[in-house]
């Protein structure tokens, strides 16, 4: 049975020192020290008359203590707030538990061998699944049903148009989900977001549509590399989406899921190196040096280097001394915040084809308008 916070507190009280308490509990002293630091964040510091802890996932924001004329504590007010670090730890623990029971995908039939010199990269960024946009206000409608249908249609159209390469990358560059928990707010700043659904349904749709897309890619490519990058709207959700996807396809050797927790990513294809970052931690200026430093060996081995980013929803491209850095558009409609702020851009996503020796050799751009024309035909 797992030890509770109270078990640790009781052991300290009974044995007097952390070393003796750790021995009594049968745990490493460092484990006990880390646990007591976490308990302290929840409001436990008996030497300061703080003995009332807050629930797991919260931290003490402030404590006001009232002492009488004899110096005896007579009243106390404990103010708490969400502990983002601990909530992230709890999310990771939940993902680990869920991954044990998630159904594994069966091995898909092997498609005809494509050109092993080519790699097709399907770039999706800032998709904002779960966002609500109203056409009279924003210029286009958007909700979970529209988003799920469009993503499947976009991949169906793009896969049929892309060259017959042996390998592909499903490069989802972050902000795939519009909100990151039961409350429809941004994780870091708490800004209220326009949401069209409950978080539980959003999770179900995200899992379902990503699995469908990966299965579609498996029907064309020998190997599929899956990137579910961290974004500022889905800091925690990108974590469980990566881990659950990796668990689902762990018995499928043709699918490789990137589970790197650091929000900078890399893929090597012959003499071509590809790098990705959402853009919430570092903007375009100077990102080339960050990639070269983080992936020094890959950068040194390759001749053609390309960096890809999202976050700002509009296209930009710069060639530096180290690599070509590209910022991508989104397929999603603008939300009310973007529309009212006047931050407008076109809507499209690309399939970029890279050669092992020559770098980028082609690209296909598919917009929502193209998908509608295809449906009408």
Q: What does the pLDDT read at residue 100?
A: 60
179's CB contacts (< 8 A; 6+ apart) are 130, 185, 186, 193, 195, 199, 202, 233, 234
Q: What does the pLDDT read at residue 2?
A: 62
pLDDT of residue 176 exceeding 80, the answer is yes
Q: What does the pLDDT read at residue 57?
A: 53
The three-class DSSP label of residue 166 is strand
Q: What does the pLDDT read at residue 94?
A: 57
The position carrying tokens 């436990």 is: 44
Mean per-residue pLDDT over the chain, rounded = 88
Q: What does the pLDDT read at residue 9?
A: 80
First-to-last alpha carbon distance for the chain, in angstroms, is 62
Whole-angstrom distance, CA of residue 328 vs CA of residue 320: 17
Whole-angstrom distance, CA of residue 178 vs CA of residue 182: 12
- Greater confidence (140 vs 36) lies with 140
Mean pLDDT of all residues in 96-109: 72
Whole-angstrom distance, CA of residue 239 vs CA of residue 245: 10
pLDDT in tens, 342-365: 988 999 999 999 999 999 999 999
pLDDT in tens, 24-79: 888 888 777 777 777 666 665 665 555 565 555 555 566 676 667 777 767 766 66
Q: What does the pLDDT read at residue 119?
A: 98
Q: What does the pLDDT read at residue 334?
A: 95
For the chain, the domains span 1-41, 113-376
Phi, psi of 353 (to 5 degrees): -105, 125
- Greater confidence (281 vs 10) lies with 281
Of the candidates 110, 115, 76, 188, which has an alpha carbon nearest to the alpha carbon of residue 354? Answer: 115
Mean pLDDT of all residues in 102-113: 86
Angle among Cα 261, 264, 265 to the nearest 5 degrees reads: 90
Q: What does the pLDDT read at residue 47?
A: 59
pLDDT-based confidence at residue 241 (cuts at 50, 70, 90) = very high
113-376 adopts what CATH topology? Purple Acid Phosphatase; chain A, domain 2 (3.60.21)
Q: What does the pLDDT read at residue 365?
A: 98
């Amino acid at each position: 049975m797992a030890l509770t916070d109270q078990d640790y507190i009781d052991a300290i009280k009974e044995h007097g020192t952390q070393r003796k308490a750790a021995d009594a509990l049968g745990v490493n002293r460092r484990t006990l020290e880390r646990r007591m630091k976490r308990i302290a964040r929840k409001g436990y510091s008996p030497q300061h008359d703080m003995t009332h802890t807050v629930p797991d996932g919260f931290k003490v924001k402030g404590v006001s203590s009232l002492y009488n004329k004899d110096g005896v504590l007579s009243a106390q007010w404990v103010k708490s707030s969400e502990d983002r670090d601990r909530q992230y730890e709890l999310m990771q623990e939940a993902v680990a538990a869920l991954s044990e029971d998630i159904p594994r995908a069966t091995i898909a039939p092997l498609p005809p061998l494509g050109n092993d010199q080519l790699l097709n990269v399907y770039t999706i960024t800032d998709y904002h699944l779960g966002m609500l946009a109203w056409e009279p206000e924003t210029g286009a409608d958007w909700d979970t049903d529209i988003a799920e249908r469009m993503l499947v249609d976009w991949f169906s159209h793009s896969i049929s148009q892309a060259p017959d390469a042996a390998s592909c990358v499903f490069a989802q560059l972050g902000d795939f989900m519009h909100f990151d928990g039961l409350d429809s707010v941004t994780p870091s700043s708490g800004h209220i977001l326009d949401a069209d659904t409950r978080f539980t349904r959003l999770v179900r749709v995200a899992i379902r549509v990503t699995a469908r897309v990966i299965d579609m890619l498996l029907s064309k490519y020998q190997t599929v590399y899956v990137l579910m990058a961290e974004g500022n709207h889905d800091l925690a959700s990108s974590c469980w989406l990566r881990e659950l996807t990796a668990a689902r396809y762990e018995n499928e050797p043709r699918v490789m899921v990137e589970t790197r927790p650091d929000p900078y990513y890399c893929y090597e294809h012959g003499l071509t190196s590809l790098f990705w970052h959402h853009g919430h931690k570092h903007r375009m200026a100077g990102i080339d040096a960050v990639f070269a430093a983080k992936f020094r060996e890959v950068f040194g081995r390759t001749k053609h280097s390309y960096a890809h980013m999202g976050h700002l929803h509009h296209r930009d491209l710069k060639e530096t001394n180290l690599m070509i850095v590209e910022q991508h558009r989104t397929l999603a409609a603008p939300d009310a915040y973007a529309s009212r702020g006047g931050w407008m851009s076109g809507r499209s996503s690309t399939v970029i084809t890279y050669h092992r020796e020559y770098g980028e050799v082609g690209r296909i751009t598919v917009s929502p308008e193209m998908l509608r024309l295809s449906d009408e035909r």
